[in-house]
Amino acid sequence: MYWTSVDSPLGPLLLTAGPDGALTSLSVPGQKGGRTVRPEWRHDPGPFRAAREQLAAYFAGDLEEFRLDLRAEGTAFRERVWAALDAVPYGTTTTYGEIAARAGASRAAVRAVGGAIGANPLLIVRPCHRVIGADGSLTGYAGGLERKVRLLTLEGVRGGAAGVPGGAARPAGPAAPLPATLP
């Protein structure tokens, strides 16, 4: 396993990749369930060049879709949920119920869908920050709600909860790049 750290407006990002160079995780500081460097991992920024460049472009407001080789392992159910996340476009939000439907799960499976979303090992590049409550509220985010707000603001989404101005969640046009540090 390879790893590197990338500076970002959300704090240092920990990236891991397998021997084939596919990105296996992206964690933020203090993330619930986030990864930590293990002694047997090899620090090597080489496999992460494309990820570093695309993350920089995303945070500058110049990239809307990541084109990276991703390899996260999970149950068949989690992988269906993660594929549904991958289909949520930049600058939009969706609900847990909509993700459940896209993943072929019943409405009753919304809690299980929430668990699968919470277990997403690829924050930011797999856009779990775009999932909100059915009432438009910003719900949990493994990286912290303040980071979720920042990512949605970057993407021009405005919602009616947790400090995101503007009423119901909806696209709101281009957003300014994020400042270099969290408030």
Share of the chain above pLDDT 90, in %: 79
Share of residues in the chain with pLDDT > 70 (%): 86
Q: Is the pLDDT of residue 35 over 50?
A: yes
Element (H, E) at 89: none
Active site residues: 128
pLDDT over threshold 90, residue 162: no
Q: Is residue 165's pLDDT more than 60?
A: no
Taking only the tens place, the pLDDT of each residue in 86-104 is: 999 999 999 999 999 999 9
pLDDT at residue 168 tops 70 = no
